[in-house]
Structure 1
């Protein structure tokens, strides 16, 4: 019995060490991380589309649209939006239906190291990993990784593959409308189609398009560093 517990403890330690070791490695721009879903598709021989695109080669309006749709305080928090988190907890305690409070760093670490599906265990693991990732990686690098690992349709990963899949163009060529439609697809990939949006998806996209056009100081951390 002691051997079983010792073995289980060792496995937990090894699994816990993976994100601690890989996150600093992922700060290297030449490294192109893969998600757990990509690995699952690879090992089960499911078809998969993926094209890594540098954030420098993504239309800025695409980057800003994802931020304003998914995590409007991205440049201002340190991995967790505590204001949103408190609101969700208060809603849960009041017996109300809760909304999502996941930040982009939280979604990134979930995609890189954890699994899909709602559970308190996964959320409990997401939080410290998001704080760690935000402390190690630049905001621009976090956004670059997120844009390249998130699933936009079944087996379609990353903004490069998604822009080709839905609009037949490179990520650098996306216009404001297309960027907004792709951004509002993210909460439910596979159930929403940016190429053939429903009326409700169209309304969401128009709102994100307006927010992205007025983002101003909100997107300061995503602007490329000036070369002196």
Structure 2
């Protein structure tokens, strides 16, 4: 009789509502993404990037040749820092001043310009897809934090120079050096490295050989700053 009274007073567990089940599902998906993304970055700290989504979606035949950083001329590193991200060794993956500058320019209309660092571009090129959107930008920020923390500057630069598009269907500076100059990236001159760096923002639209107009002027400007980058150790985080 006493047991029956105890059981009668014990309330039955309420079934989990749909909102709670949805919350658990979201939490599991977030946890899985965090684990997978960290695992990806840890693996690619040591393993060459075999392929990227950008390469897979390229309608042209893809040419690439993974090359360790110690087999790429220092002028090439100085050229991309000069042309793409002068504060590469100074920031933690994000250049707030460049982002704000780009935002102000874009408010004036015309062609949309970005303020992405080499770290952000590397995160996008390796793990994500091209194009805009808040989702992609948010994922890019997350992967940028991860590679800055786990890879460090030298590995980021090495990966960037191997996955950046340097021409139609051409990825990495080694493939670019072979295509345009018939030589290894180890033997590039400052001018040659600067011309490759000048096409990086728009590799499908700009020419390395026979470049004219803005591309030629931009390449010449980068070439003049290569020695400044090296003399002032703005590439010091790559070579320390």
Give TM class, smaller chain: 0.7 to 0.9
- 2:41 maps to what in 1? 23
1:79 aligns with 2:96: no
Q: CA deviation at 1:196?
A: 1.7
1:35 aligns with 2:49: no
- 1:172 maps to what in 2? 186
TM-score, normalization by structure 1: 0.85
1:108 aligns with 2:122: yes
* Distance in 1, Cα, partners of 2:123 & 2:191: 28
Aligned with residue 236 of structure 2, among 212, 217, 220:
220
Secondary structure of the 2:202 match is coil
CA 172–13 in structure 1, closer or farther in 2 if over 3 Å, else same: same
* Deviation by residue 1:126-179 (Cα, 9 ceiling, x = unmatched): 112212210111211100001001111222111111111111111011111110
- 2:149 maps to what in 1? 135
1:183 aligns with 2:197: yes
Q: How many residues align?
A: 218
* Distance in 2, Cα, partners of 1:51 & 1:4: 45
Q: CA deviation at 1:14?
A: 4.3
1:52 aligns with 2:69: no
TM-score, normalization by structure 2: 0.81
Secondary structure of the 2:93 match is coil
* Distance in 2, Cα, partners of 1:194 & 1:203: 12
Whether contact under 8 Å (2:89, 2:237) holds in the other structure is yes
Larger Rg: 2
Q: CA deviation at 1:200?
A: 1.5
Task: Please list every run of 5 or more consecutive structure 1 residues that lacks an aligned counterpart in the other structure.
Answer: none
Whether contact under 8 Å (2:80, 2:194) holds in the other structure is yes
1:202 aligns with 2:216: yes
- The residue correspondences of 1:61-72 to structure 2 (distance < 5 A) are 61-72=75-86
RMSD: 2.5
